[in-house]
Amino acid sequence: MGIEDDFYATIKLKSGEEIFAKVAPSEEEDRTLLLVFNPITLTAIKTRMGIIGYRVEPWLKTTTEDLFILNLDDVLTMSESNDVDIISTYQSYIRHQENTNGNHHNINKQMGYLSNVNDAKEILEKIFKNI
């Protein structure tokens, strides 16, 4: 048996880690392996407005590899995902990673940078004193 069709899945590893990735199972001799493409971790966050979003980070932060092989024996459970929001978030993150190639950008006014902490403090104090 060879590589099956790819699918999106949430994988809970025996180590306790939870990852989301595009997965392709592969039968190799007497064991099943999972080919995991661009695995990420998702952390749910809640804003002041009550809107829930996700912080997306690479599963392994010290490598630029995008394909990993997991032994099925190391997997506690796996759930195929059809959640359009999560899949869209994953695909956007992967596209962004491919476009930036690891380049980090400095913050500037065009990106929304307004001021440093000291300047903002002075401005807010002046506004507060005038009220």
Name the 3-class secondary structure at 15: coil
pTM over 0.95, yes/no:
no
Answer yes or no: is 1 within a domain.
Answer: no
* Domain annotation covers residue 66: yes
Main-chain phi, psi angles of 128, to 5 degrees: -65, -40
Residue with tokens 């491919």, as numbered in its chain: 98
Q: Which tokens belong to 127?
A: 């506004």
Question: Residue 68 pLDDT more than 90?
Answer: yes
* Rounded percentage of the chain residues whose pLDDT exceeds 90: 37
Which CATH number fits the domain that encloses residue 61?
2.30.30.100
Does residue 2 sit within a domain? no
